[in-house]
Chain A
């Protein structure tokens, strides 16, 4: 192992992990804002409960995104100092804008929202969740602006061997960004949709298993009530509506993800043809989309690859919008890349041990081929499941089947899987470049950087190994803690976010020693 590989593993692990929290934060944040708006406008109890319950889960997840986001901000300089020096003029600006214009809003208004119940005027309190939620999307926009620049550098001129920004507008309206942003946001909503659906299914199922809800002769639900544990008729509305919202959001998002994904693929065939060829394990030029290719993907050897099942014309459609134009395969692309960027890395100390070695222009096909397919499969599964769930729950509840409930809960993972697979595909598909060159004629020439050149020259292998182990360990432990906490709050249902629901039932007021305290003095919410 060398420092470069460890640094890449570290960036990959910390980023994929961070992006488990991010889509849920983005998707759930807006969901909570909409639910609170519904409560604000209608005053209906179920919307308040939904706001509080989903808001609580949102917060448990949000903080992990914040905590792991710090690592992202710092590790460019720490582990990738050469990269930071090379791109700083253009890449740092979107990051700085993100923290100044979005992250501040997110953090401060969320603090207002968490502690502002009963302390802020209702309208202001509602405004604060909207501000925080929209700011999470603002954050996504700026971060994707930075990432899109690495995929497709624009708005710069090369001066003294470094890209210097000459047009911020070009950076902020990069066509790669304009499709990546909606794609990412729809992806985030598919996560939130699946999350709502799975957890609501569990609660509807629990109500039936506990004999609270029953099914009448016409198959329609007969809603029961057990107020002692917070299972009243409103509780049923909470879960049924959440399930329906979740299912609709998941399906609409899948539509959005598909459309934007198609646009993105067409751009990528232009901007990074090798990435798309590797996604297909397409060695030779052709028009067919591979459903299954056999051969040793791991060997990255083209002679070994056989497409077993292929949809003729589909690849061409993905790339060009028709069914007949050949799409370039890896064997055609390699000589083109070699001609433009050389066959061997320059003998420059910046490349460390890799200086002068041969460049492999083909990304790891095992990852790109399967990453691309897993993304699509998980996404389709989630959308299909949402449709089925909506149908099954049409009469107001879900079946008593335990396995179906488990399936719905496990289904929460599918959109997460689609998100991770998509990112792993797009980032690993860019290799061996960290800043991908522009093959299209209107792109700027010679703005590119090999990943091998980006790593910090002064940081030793031992330091990287230590930090990789430390982050992996801490992240692993915290994931267990977060999931444990989420499970506990899900099992607790709405009262876990609104303990007052249970206290009201006792009839003799608060039983917790807060008796006699002036209500105005006691914090409505406290850590």
Chain B
């Protein structure tokens, strides 16, 4: 097995896992913006738990995409072109969501806030669902021809796996956000978040577990049974810990579930990065989709410094903004009047 392409497959899996772990809770918080959050103050509490960090979280997606382009151009080209329509929706969702985060508080008007609230809810939902569908399909396959192009029209990518992956990331993000809120807020919101977390956690993790099982059954290796077991263990402990009110440990256990879950999925499909459902010979693998060793080598050297640096300064921001946010910490709405 070629060393560098394998390394970069692992790095990209790492970026995706990091993305799901970090943006998972801010996508979930976005989806909880209506319904769970009942008042404007509730919404502002939610918004400010992720306010300083969401943009940094989203860069994990950009980096996952760019690293795929650089390390596996054929994977990038086939996957992104193959999922053209869903990705257009994901992009529009992310655009609305980003602008909404920044603009919502910039005017003091109910109508203004209400529009951006829905942009956050729908944007978060569509982005989570779309990314989930995309990740599921890169592990279960697209109808690709010999050149790696999708055949069969704009909706040829659609399958039950797309729905499964979409549901997996949406539901994981929701419980992940609830766990995050138990850590980051206080008072009524925290209690409600914990109650919902305890009630829904087992159900919400099912689709992702099912996705992992499907992939393992299709091409699993001995080690994936172990990682799958770890994932299940993580889910069970997250639930038990949440019931006992151990918020921090429960959040960490959810993280174990996610890391073990994605490790299971990516290990099971390895060395295939994007299967063709038309002919296994057309499938893209770490070998036939990758860049040259020179390119991968250079990127490895830079990544060896860049990735740890990111972890350090991103960790630092979480430490700076570690304080809980509650209704009492929200300043008055900001009105702008002509001078």
Contacts and interface: CB of A to CB of B under 8 A. Distances in A.
A527 B47 contact: yes
B217 interface: no
Contacts of B51: 111, 114-115, 526-527
A458 B148 CA distance: 9
Interface string B270-281: 000000000000
Contact of B56 (A98, A107, A165): A107
A488 B55 CA distance: 25
B159 interface: no
B40 to A, nearest CB: 12
A259 interface: no
Q: By DSSP majority rule, is chain B's interface helix, strand, loop, or mixed?
A: helix
How many chain B residues sit at the interface, stated as a range, is: 35 or more
Interface stretch (A58-66, A261-269, A417-425, A426-434): A58-66
A92 B95 contact: no
Given A60-B103, A96-B66, A499-B335, A77 B292 contact: no
Given A99-B63, A458-B150, A70 B102 contact: no
B84 A99 contact: no
Interface stretch (B199-207, B224-232, B234-242, B312-320): B312-320
A460 B154 contact: yes
B79 interface: yes
B187 interface: no
B91 A71 contact: yes
Given A67-B94, A73-B62, A481-B103, A206 B291 contact: no
A165 B292 contact: yes
Contact of B94 (A70, A76, A88, A91): A70
A492 B337 contact: yes
B292 A74 contact: no
A112 B85 contact: no
Contacts of A95: 66, 69-70
Interface string B300-326: 001100110010011001001100010
Contacts of B74: 85, 88
Given A88-B70, A107-B58, A456-B149, A100 B302 contact: yes
Interface in A483-511: 485, 488-489, 491-496, 499, 510
Given A115-B52, A514-B331, A85 B317 contact: no
B10 interface: no
Contacts of A88: 69-70, 72-74, 76-77, 291
B88 interface: yes
B289 to A, nearest CB: 9
Nearest to A473: B92
B1 interface: no
Contacts of A112: 52, 317, 320
B73 A513 contact: no
B295 interface: yes
Contacts of B76: 76-77, 84, 88, 92
B299 interface: yes
Interface in A38-97: 59-60, 63-64, 66-71, 73-74, 76-79, 81-82, 84-85, 87-93, 95-97
Contacts of A66: 55, 98
A81 B78 contact: yes
A334 interface: no
Interface stretch (A184-192, A364-372, A374-382, A516-524): A516-524
Given A73-B66, A104-B310, A467-B88, A59 B102 contact: yes
Interface string A148-166: 0000000000010000111
B80 interface: yes
Interface residues of A, number: 93
Given A67-B99, A77-B77, A84-B76, A523 B325 contact: yes
B166 interface: no
A69 B59 CA distance: 11
Contacts of A485: 103, 106-107
B50 to A, nearest CB: 9
B245 interface: no
B334 interface: yes
A442 interface: no
A463 B330 contact: no
A109 B58 CA distance: 14
Interface in B30-72: 44, 47-48, 51-56, 58-59, 61-63, 65-67, 69-72
B338 A527 contact: no
A457 B65 CA distance: 20
Nearest to A499: B334
B98 A63 contact: yes
B69 A63 contact: no
B151 interface: yes
B92 A457 contact: no
A9 interface: no
Across the A-B interface, give the 5 residue pairs with the lowest CB-CB distance, nearest first.
A88-B73, A77-B80, A92-B70, A458-B149, A512-B332
16 contacts: A67-B98, A73-B66, A82-B77, A87-B73, A96-B69, A107-B58, A111-B56, A164-B295, A203-B339, A229-B339, A460-B153, A466-B85, A471-B92, A493-B339, A496-B337, A510-B332
Given A166-B294, A467-B84, A527-B104, 17 more contacts: A70-B58, A76-B69, A88-B73, A91-B69, A93-B295, A96-B70, A104-B313, A108-B56, A112-B52, A159-B292, A485-B106, A489-B106, A495-B337, A521-B328, A523-B48, A523-B331, A526-B47
Interface of B: 44, 47-48, 51-56, 58-59, 61-63, 65-67, 69-74, 76-82, 84-85, 87-88, 91-92, 94-96, 98-99, 101-107, 145, 147-151, 153-154, 291-292, 294-295, 298-299, 302-303, 306-307, 310, 313-314, 317, 320-321, 325, 328-332, 334-339
